[in-house]
């Protein structure tokens, strides 16, 4: 009798073990695929109110206005239509900095020579590049051939690391003068916990005026912090 009880006990233990294994498998969510990560991130980015950005360009500058070629930009964006940034670059071989403020449809930039604020033409819209609904969203939604790479730490945040490519023409809504027929390599780092974009890397010329091999890195931080941006006095 005791032998039968022992066999029964072993059988029951085996059944309990199987139930536990199955339960664990059912409770562990399947890893997200690259398109799912992009979709979740796009939704999260469209909901944020503000963020800080640092744009670095290596291998060449981008013409913006008054003969200035941008190589770096640091600033803040407040939805829906406010931006304040300091741009570093060169004009006629001289390195200098200018400030740009966008409030609604009004765009102001300090004159590279005098330092005085000047109103820019309406067609000049640097905000488009950083706008979560247009610029960043255009990059995210336009990425093709998505590949999920190993997770990476970005400034203390564990991120999904994705790579792919985007056609230069898909960026036309944010950069009107985008070059035709160029494929740009893209890498994106997205927080695993909050699905907010921490870093975007673009390799390749986007406009006709740029040189081959230009690399842009856009870092985002300070999401939803209170920032005041007003028309310059």
Q: Which sequence spans correspond to the domains of the chain?
A: 1-30, 34-76+124-221
Q: Minimal CA–CA distance to 89: which of 209, 174, 184, 197?
A: 209
pLDDT single digits (tens) 10-53? 554 555 555 555 555 545 678 899 999 999 998 899 889 999 99
The partner residues of 101 in beta bridges, in order of sequence, read: 84, 108
Task: Calculate the CA dihedral of residues 69, 74, 76, 82 and round it to 10 degrees.
Answer: -10
| The pLDDT value given to residue 172 | 66
Q: Count the neighbouring beta carbons within 10 Å of the beta carbon of residue 227.
A: 16
Q: Which of the 8 DSSP states describes residue 169?
A: G
Phi, psi for 25 (deg, rounded to 5): -65, -40
Q: How many CB atoms lie within 10 A of CB 68?
A: 21
Cα–Cα distance for residue pair 163/148, rounded to 1 Å:
7
**Cα 142 to the center of its chain, rounded Å:** 12
Angle at 111 between CA 107 and CA 116, to 5 degrees: 90
- HSE (side-chain half, CA atoms, 13 Å) at 226: 0
- Residue 11: partners with Cβ closer than 8 Å, 6 or more residues away: none
Query: For the chain, which residues score pLDDT lower than 70?
Result: 1-28, 65-66, 122-134, 172-178
Q: Which residue has the tokens 């981008």?
A: 62
Predicted confidence at residue 5, as pLDDT, reads 47
Tell me the backbone φ, ψ of residue 125, rounded to 5 degrees: -140, 85
Mean pLDDT of the chain, nearest integer: 82
Q: What are phi and psi of 156, to 5 degrees?
A: 90, 5
What does the alpha-carbon distance between residue 97 and residue 85 come to, in Å, rounded to a whole number?
10
Whether the upstream peptide bond of residue 80 has omega within 30° of 0, thus cis, is yes
**Assigned CATH class of 34-76+124-221:** mainly beta
Degrees, nearest 5: CA angle 164-173-180: 65
By the 8 A CB rule, do 75 and 96 touch? Answer: no
């Amino acid at each position: 009798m005791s032998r039968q009880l022992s066999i029964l006990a072993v059988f029951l233990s085996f059944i309990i073990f199987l139930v536990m294994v199955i339960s664990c498998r059912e409770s562990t969510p399947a890893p997200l695929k690259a398109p799912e990560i992009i979709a979740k991130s796009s939704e999260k980015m469209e909901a944020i109110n503000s963020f800080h950005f640092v744009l670095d360009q290596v291998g060449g500058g981008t013409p913006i206005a008054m003969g200035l070629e941008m190589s770096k930009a640091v600033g803040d964006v407040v939805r829906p239509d406010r931006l304040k940034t300091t741009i570093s670059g060169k004009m006629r071989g001289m390195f200098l900095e200018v400030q740009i403020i966008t409030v609604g449809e009004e765009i102001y930039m300090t004159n590279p020579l005098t330092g005085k604020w000047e109103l820019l033409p309406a067609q000049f819209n640097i905000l488009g590049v950083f706008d979560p609904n247009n610029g960043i969203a255009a990059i995210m939604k336009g990425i093709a051939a998505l590949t999920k790479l190993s997770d990476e730490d970005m400034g203390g945040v564990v991120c999904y690391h994705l790579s792919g490519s985007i056609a230069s023409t898909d960026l036309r809504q944010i950069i009107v003068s985008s070059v035709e027929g160029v494929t740009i390599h893209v890498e994106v780092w997205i927080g695993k916990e909050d699905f907010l974009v921490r870093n975007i890397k673009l390799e390749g010329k986007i406009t006709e005026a740029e040189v081959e091999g230009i690399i842009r890195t856009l870092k985002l931080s300070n999401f939803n912090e209170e920032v005041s941006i007003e028309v310059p006095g």
